[in-house]
Amino acid sequence: MMNKSTAIIALIFGSLMISATGWADNLPDYYPSSFHRWGVIDRLDIAGGDVVVNDTLMHISENVKIHTPNTQFATVHALNKGAKIGVAFSTTSPVKRMIDEIWILPGDYGASSE
């Protein structure tokens, strides 16, 4: 028989698994199960190759791949201020990490963890 603290931990873990599964169920198959970082676009400078996500400046690779829930490949013009995104960084330069891929996320992504 489980003690009270073990039962609470099992309930919390089960709730987290259901929440994570809920997010995954809403995303297309071509979306990864996790991102290097995700958040909301605060500022976007496509010409300059910069994006600010959750107050953090990031640099966008010239060959960035953009994915949306509706299409596996899109252009940078699919990005908008206020959009929720997930990103993957290049590992080629430890000094200046470049965003290689961006996935536009549904507005409710991560809602239960915010």
Q: Give the integer Cα–Cα distance in Å for 91 and 102.
A: 15
Q: Which has more confidence, 7 or 88? A: 88
**Domain limits for position 87:** 1-114
How many structural domains are present in the chain? 1
Q: What is the pLDDT of residue 108?
A: 87
The arithmetic mean of pLDDT across residues 82-89, rounded, is 96
**Under 8 Å CB-to-CB from 82, ≥6 apart: which residues?**
40, 41
Question: Looking at residues 17-32, what average pLDDT do you find?
Answer: 64
Greater confidence, 64 or 13? 64
- Note the pLDDT of residue 112: 63
Buried b (16+ CB within 10 A) or exposed e, 5-15: eeeeeeeeeee
Q: What is the pLDDT of residues 33-85, one digit of tens each?
A: 999 999 999 999 999 999 999 999 999 999 999 999 999 999 999 999 999 99
CATH number at residue 19: 2.40.50.320
Rounded to whole angstroms, the Cα distance separating 3 from 51 reads 49
pLDDT score for 12: 45
- In sequence order, the 6+-apart residues with CB closer than 8 A to the CB of 1 are none
% the chain with pLDDT above 90: 61
**pTM, entire model:** 0.73
Mean local confidence (pLDDT), 77-94: 88
